[in-house]
Chains A and B, each alone.
Chain A
Amino acid sequence: GIQVEQSPPDLILQEGANSTLRCNFSDSVNNLQWFHQNPWGQLINLFYIPSGTKQNGRLSATTVATERYSLLYISSSQTTDSGVYFCAVSTSGTYKYIFGTGTRLKVLA
């Protein structure tokens, strides 16, 4: 089955810093989502982005489907950005999503 790898596994930033999170996948995908799991465990939809680039405030994402990776950019990080960021993908012909193991982000005040 498809493999999803996220890097880095852990990241510590000072408030105001920028960061890039990466998601690599081993096969062509039909769907790709980025989620933020906050410290209370809630999963929040950030982007649905099987290809192309999207921006939402301080966050943006780019997926290069032909090269099998996606990037999540966080600019001017805030303490509320802390938590775990997950990438999830599904392949053509199936709606089963496979999750990566996540990037744990801690933003220090």
Chain B
Amino acid sequence: NAGVTQTPKFRVLKTGQSMTLLCAQDMNHEYMYWYRQDPGMGLRLIHYSVGEGTTAKGEVPDGYNVSRLKKQNFLLGLESAAPSQTSVYFCASSYTLELADYTSYNEQFFGPGTRLTVL
């Protein structure tokens, strides 16, 4: 199994250009997430999906759009890139298990990241 993969690994854009980042997972996970990580900081959630055809906003959704047309893929789009979107982008996926004690198990697994620079 490849786990979680991200395409591309690196990209340089000019201000105003658009691009799409692709995340793919082969673990049949229901949940998928897009995060960004800025220098010296933790990860911040951009958007996430709880299943095929569904998406929801995270902490920092402005300037991004997402789509989950297939269960295994989660796309992150930048319609008009800005220098403030220079960052490392991580995708993650997870599955959930409802446990006998009415809690739920949900462990995330991450892709290798995409380093994006907007000039």
Contact = CB atoms under 8 A, between A and B. Distances in A.
Contact of A45 (B41, B48, B107): B107
Contacts of B88: 41
Interface string A1-45: 000000000000000000000000000001101010000011101
B106 interface: yes
Interface string A87-100: 01010000111111
Given A96-B58, A99-B44, A48 B96 contact: no
A102 B42 contact: yes
A86 interface: yes
A31 B107 contact: yes
A30 B107 contact: no
Interface residues of A, number: 21
Interface residues of B, number: 26
Interface in B64-92: 88, 90
B21 to A, nearest CB: 16
A93 B106 CA distance: 12
15 contacts: A30-B103, A30-B104, A43-B110, A43-B113, A45-B107, A50-B103, A86-B43, A95-B48, A95-B96, A96-B48, A97-B108, A101-B41, A101-B42, A102-B41, A102-B42
Interface of A: 30-31, 33, 35, 41-43, 45, 48, 50, 86, 88, 90, 95-102
Given A99-B43, A100-B42, 19 more contacts: A30-B106, A33-B107, A33-B108, A41-B88, A43-B90, A43-B110, A45-B108, A45-B110, A48-B105, A48-B107, A86-B43, A88-B108, A90-B106, A95-B96, A97-B33, A97-B45, A97-B108, A99-B35, A99-B42
